[in-house]
Amino acid sequence: MPSLLSPTSRCLGAGALPRRYVAPLALLLVVGGCSGSRRAPSPAAPPRSEPPSPLLAVRQSPFGTVYVLRQGTRRVLRFGGPHAEDQSIIEPRAPRREPMEYIRTALLALAYTEGRRRLLMIGVGGGSFMRHVAYLAPQIDQEGVEINPVVLKLARRFFQLPPAGPRMRFHVADGRRFVRAATRRFDIVFVDAYDAVDYPRHLGTQEFFRQVRRALAPGGVCVANLSPNTHRMRDDLVLTFNSVFRAAHCYYIPEANNTVVFGWRAPVEARGAAELRAAVAALERRTGGRYGLARAATQRCRFSLQRARLLRDKR
């Protein structure tokens, strides 16, 4: 296990890498804090709440209630309640804009694996990532695995999820079972099955990430959006991820409190600093800077995982 250092407890990132593979990208150090008056609020002031948003759809599913709301010019997907965490957001009149920064960060996978041909998405949600990959890299064959059939139906109706076809396939299945049974190898595997409250335990263990690593083609990359709000839960997931993918890069998105990790089977498979900068610059030129990939690439950080626990399947 490589040594894991952190200049601040609020700074999140990956385990240390061999020097020749560490990209000289700037670290974004996030230092928390708050200030304000000590005066108590007036007891006459009513509590503020989020203004109601027009509901476009409410559907019962095997995994709870799914909501689609309109917020201004946007459509928002939420699970469990109308005021729950945003799962997907789209600007219907400008679908190539991506409001969720962690999705833009995850698109760095295209720079890490330039020229690749096959992608697996575990946790389709509204399909934002797959939609953008279809714009940016139409040569990539994509497969999406979503356990909730209601989510796929709403994604097609409200979030412009690309239709199924020769290069776009969807499966209603559990992500772990799909990976375990997969005979194909993928250049990109994106695991986006976590939320701010919790995550499916069987999709966060060392055994699961080993199955994902076996599903990677040579030179392929696993991307995981680790978004649980508690530092302890997130540290446990990152430690477990790093134990399987020894070449790991990590990016922290402070606005949304998301952590996006990238991992390869071996250090030699990670792109060097110069290659990565060139690939990011090429993507920025092709998109006119729409996705802010150059900024995303500066948000590399490190973790302090001394108290983290390795997550294993229950025996």
Domain map (residue ranges) of the chain: 19-28+101-296
Mean pLDDT score across all residues of the chain: 81
Tokens representing 191 are: 């695991």
Res. 2 pLDDT band, cuts 50 70 90: very low
pLDDT for residue 30 = 30
pLDDT in tens, 118-127: 999 999 999 9
Mean pLDDT, rounded, for 78-97: 93
DSSP string, 192-247: ----SS---GGGSSHHHHHHHHHHEEEEEEEEEEE--SSHHHHHHHHHHHHHH-SE
| Cβ-based burial of 181 (10 A; exposed 0-12, middle 13-18, buried ≥19) | exposed
Considering only residues 197 and 113, tell me which one the structure prediction assigns the higher pLDDT: 113
pLDDT for residue 266 = 74
Spatial CA neighbour of 207 closest among 315, 58, 60 = 315
Distance (Å, whole) CA 127 – CA 146: 10
Res. 228 pLDDT band, cuts 50 70 90: low
Does pLDDT of 35 surpass 80? Answer: no
Mean pLDDT, rounded, for 28-44: 30
pLDDT in tens, 48-84: 445 556 999 999 999 999 999 999 999 999 999 999 9
Does pLDDT of 13 surpass 60? Answer: no
pLDDT for residue 57 = 97
Res. 16 pLDDT band, cuts 50 70 90: very low
Spatial CA neighbour of 308 closest among 231, 246, 208, 222 = 231
pLDDT in tens, 126-175: 999 999 999 999 999 999 999 999 999 999 999 999 999 999 999 999 99
Does pLDDT of 44 surpass 50? Answer: no
Give the lowest-confidence range in 4-8, 93-97, 172-176, 239-243: 4-8
Tokens representing 43 are: 């007891």
One-letter amino acid for residue 20 of the chain:
R
pTM here? Answer: 0.81
Mean pLDDT, rounded, for 182-204: 89
pLDDT in tens, 240-271: 999 999 777 888 887 777 889 999 877 666 66
Please count the other Cβ atoms lying within 10 Å of the Cβ belonging to residue 5: 14
Distance (Å, whole) CA 132 – CA 98: 8
pLDDT in tens, 275-315: 888 888 988 888 888 888 888 888 887 777 888 999 999 87
Res. 229 pLDDT band, cuts 50 70 90: low
Residue 173 to residues 67, 143, 146, 177, 268, Cα–Cα distance (Å) = 21, 12, 6, 7, 33
Gyration radius from the chain CA atoms: 20
Tell me which fold the domain 19-28+101-296 belongs to: Rossmann fold (3.40.50)
